Homo-oligomer: A and B are copies of this chain.
Amino acid sequence: MPVTPEQQAEIDELRANPRPTLRAVSEGMEAHLYKAYDVLDHGFIRVIDYMGDDAAICQAARVSYGKGTKSVQNDEGLIRYLMRHWHSTPFEMCEIKLHVKLPVFVARQWIRHRTANVNEYSARYSILDREFYIPQPEQLAAQSVVNNQGRGSALTAAESARVLEILKGDAARTYDHYEEMISDEGKQGLARELARMNLPANIYTQWYWKVDLHNLFHFLRLRADAHAQYEIRVYAEAICKVVADWVPAAYGAFEDYRMGGGVLSARGLACLKRMLAGEELAQEESGMSKGEWREFQALLS
């Protein structure tokens, strides 16, 4: 259970007290505020705050005095134009702040997105909880034979069981030792900043993460992609759901122009023109490597 009853009570209290504001309000986003959406076995994402809405993107693009919107339809057309022509700065005018609980090895991938603000729970100052990510058996898979950095076919039941036994056992033992090392009952107790080094990368941490919409879209494009590691992809997918309610027009343009389409190289475009003219092409004639050709075929099929 990612959120305790005490934490849930704090969340409920925050949701019980609307206050008047003159700022842009996204009704879709207000419904999500503070709620914890479960991800993996002990993780969650929850929206702590946001700035702006679809109209705010247009208002900034027009540098206008009043509301950005002339009509919802005009706004959607402008947003699609901005997205299509890589005018990224108006999307930077929206901002979201999330509270995320996630395994450390996921946090290590996530933090590589540098244009964001982060406050992480400090294991120098505080004691980490006994919570580890233990995968579902169906998520356990062998090293991929086509993608050198991904996973391939699912493990057999016997092999899965052995892996889970190891992960659970090592998590329990290393956490027992962590507690033992920092305990000052009848002894000095090791400093937290040192004891934490014994904890494996599937322990959960948490942070506040704040990012603008343009950089969030970049994060989502890479991390909600089918090639991203499953354990970070599920976080990206959970975020996609709240963003779709927050800025529906911008999210729709993002889906159309970034997530759902594809990029053609000059070589790929030249091949495509020949194919549209009726020619049948083989990889050898394409100028592409085998890997590129396979990806090109996949895009068009």
In residues 171-215 of chain A, which contact B (Cβ within 8 Å)? 173-174, 177, 180-182, 184, 187-194, 196-202, 206-208, 210, 212
Report Cα–Cα, A80/B202, bound state, in Å. Answer: 34
Judge whether A239 is part of the interface by a CB distance below 8 angstroms.
no
A196:B191 contact, CB within 8 angstroms: no
A289:B191 contact, CB within 8 angstroms: no
A208:B261 contact, CB within 8 angstroms: no
Copy count, this protein chain? 4
B197:A199 contact, CB within 8 angstroms: no
Partner of A167, one of B167, B197, B222, B261: B197
Q: Which residue of B lies closest to A22 (CB)?
A: B33
Knowing A21-B25, A174-B200, A198-B202 are in contact, say whether A97-B103 is a contact too (CB < 8 A). Answer: no
Report Cα–Cα, A267/B202, bound state, in Å. Answer: 40
Report Cα–Cα, A266/B187, bound state, in Å. Answer: 41
A208:B151 contact, CB within 8 angstroms: no
Partner of A194, one of B49, B140, B148, B174: B140
The interface on chain A, measured as residues whose beta carbon lies within 8 A of the other chain's beta carbons, has a size of: 134
Report Cα–Cα, A121/B59, bound state, in Å. Answer: 11
Report Cα–Cα, A51/B166, bound state, in Å. Answer: 45
Q: Which residue of B lies closest to A134 (CB)?
A: B197
Partner of A257, one of B20, B30, B265: B265
Partner of A208, one of B60, B84, B196, B259: B60
A256:B265 contact, CB within 8 angstroms: yes
